Amino acid sequence: MKKFLPVTELARDDRFTWISEGERFKDPRSGQQGTGSFGRAPKMTRDSADAPERSRSLMHGIFMGEIQALEAAGRTCWDFEVGNGEGEAPFALKLDMARQCWDESRHVEISVKLSDWMGTELGEFAEGRGLYQAGCNPDPALRLTAVNRGIEGLAIDVFANMKAFGTACGDPVMEFCEDWMLADEVTHVKMGSDWLRRLTADDPERRQRALDFQRLVDKIFSAAGRGGDVEGARNYRKLAGFTDEDIDEAHVPLDPEAEREARRSLTAGSLGGAAPRPQL
């Protein structure tokens, strides 16, 4: 089986269509106001005119994200030889990633059933592959920073907001499903926070590079509580290994061009070959 599988070679059946994240955000059903930007949409409430379509779009995006999270965790188990070097992964890390594969597979099943509950057909909305692309870094420390610390951190906000939406709508099925998945995401983020330090404990240069990358990732994905419960998001992140200083720093925004460049660095290497180190 090939190591470091390019994003273009992910297996999908003919129900699914892959488009860029920018194009996906132009779908008016996503609540992104058709800008094609990475800006956050206004908070979704049960009284929002676009709530039915927007919630279905978001849930389908969660479903596709869980598939990619499963693929990314599985690739980390396979891509790296066992060891403690920069391009290697300790066996204990692989065990954690195997456990995460099990979690993500359950999330896929939950998301399929919840999408059906909401009246959505699989493939009804296009797929963006930003999550998998972020999981292609050839350094396992940076890969876990991007996926576990970053994108799984964003998932904390998504699931917390969707749980609150389900509660407000009087939908106990949505509320329970989102709460169940939210608990797993806190564990996944904690894995990323812990392993970043464990993998770089004996290499100060690599540790600094990883921490610089972590700060960049936090700014993109973990400005705690955007569009939701700020205090709740902060508390979830502290359970997952963030410090108050980490969260405060994440709130200092990048300018739009710097954020676009940061996202390009984040997904470098996803088309195959070695990824260049991000310019921080």
Is residue 58 a contact partner of residue 50, using CB atoms and an 8 Å limit? no
- For the ranges 37-46, 119-128, 173-182, 186-195, the lowest mean pLDDT is seen at 37-46
Mean pLDDT score of the chain: 85
Structural domain count, the chain:
1
Asked whether residue 35 is assigned to any structural domain, the reply reads: no
pLDDT, position 256: 81
**Is the pLDDT score of 187 beyond 90?**
yes
pLDDT, position 111: 96
Asked whether residue 78 is assigned to any structural domain, the reply reads: yes
pLDDT, position 227: 53
CA pair distance 113, 122, nearest whole angstrom:
10
- The residue that leads in pLDDT, 32 or 80, is 80
pLDDT, position 183: 92
Mean pLDDT score, 85-99: 94
CATH number at residue 199: 1.20.1260.10
- The residue that leads in pLDDT, 260 or 120, is 120
Asked whether residue 3 is assigned to any structural domain, the reply reads: no
Asked whether residue 180 is assigned to any structural domain, the reply reads: yes
Asked whether residue 174 is assigned to any structural domain, the reply reads: yes
Asked whether residue 30 is assigned to any structural domain, the reply reads: no
pLDDT, position 42: 65
Most confident by average pLDDT, 5-14, 152-161, 257-266: 5-14
Is residue 180 a contact partner of residue 248, using CB atoms and an 8 Å limit? no
pTM recorded for the entire structure:
0.87
Concatenated DSSP letters of 14-69: TT--B--HHHHHTSGGGTSTT--SSPPPPPP-TT-TTHHHHHHHHHHHHHHHHHHH
Asked whether residue 190 is assigned to any structural domain, the reply reads: yes
**Is the pLDDT score of 134 beyond 90?**
no
- The residue that leads in pLDDT, 78 or 271, is 78
- Return the SS3 of 127: strand
Mean pLDDT score, 180-198: 92
Is residue 4 a contact partner of residue 80, using CB atoms and an 8 Å limit? no
- The residue that leads in pLDDT, 174 or 279, is 174
Asked whether residue 41 is assigned to any structural domain, the reply reads: no
Mean pLDDT score, 167-189: 94
Quote the percentage of the chain above a pLDDT of 70: 89
Question: What element of type H or E holds 94?
Answer: helix 91-117
Q: Which domain holds residue 57?
A: 18-25+49-266
> What DSSP character marks residue 253?
P
pLDDT, position 280: 37
pLDDT, position 189: 92
Quote the percentage of the chain above a pLDDT of 90: 47
pLDDT, position 269: 67
